[in-house]
Amino acid sequence: MKNTILICFFALSLTGLAQTKKASNLETITVGGGCYWCVEAVYENLNGVKSVVSGFSGGKVANPTYEEVCTGTTGHAEVVQITYDKNVTDLNEIFKVFFTVHDPTTLNRQGADVGTQYRSVIFYKNEEQKNAAQSIIAELNKAKVYDSPIVTKVEPFTKFYKAEDYHQNYYANNKNQPYCKMVIQPKIEKFEKVFKDKLKKK
């Protein structure tokens, strides 16, 4: 039932984005929605997204390793840094995808992944990003799309640390791994169902 409400909510608000002939107009946004392998795999298929880099933000340790972040002691969240063309997509759509492919109501966990490193968070770089994030959270809560309140944090961006190379494009390079089949693939399928008109052409 929850998925049906979510699909309807976004289906009603997804309208054609104005296309322009302007030169590339790139912007970046950093979000965390659990394991970055999952989030990265989804955004790589969204039209208008130029790059998705997995890494860490929100902590106090410089240049953390994956192993250090996994201890939950560095303060970092697993995040993806998304670079997108504002002439093709926009913040609203970026956030609609974000709230479709993870559960923003579970504190410091996504499924079996538990810890502060898996928290739901949006790191904003300017007031536009902050206001857009707060606005969609308010809309979703008001519409009672989820059974519980959204716990996604909206915090100022400070620093992004790129994860080790083997974490980049993880799903594309490891499709036969059990985690990819059981956890990531269902998220991609859900994304493709809701945003079928917004997918990159293959």
**Residues with catalytic function:** 35
Which has the closest alpha carbon to 42: 105, 110, 106? 110
Cα separation of 105 and 9, whole Å?
Answer: 17
Tokens of 178: 């059990």
Strands 109-110 and 113-114: antiparallel
Tokens of 81: 């840094």
Facing residues of 78 across strands? 56
Spatial CB neighbours of 142, under 8 Å, sequence gap ≥ 6:
none
Cα separation of 26 and 47, whole Å?
Answer: 13
Say if residues 36 and 136 touch (Cβ distance below 8 Å).
no
Phi, psi of 95, rounded to the nearest 5 degrees: -75, -35
Cα separation of 156 and 178, whole Å?
Answer: 35
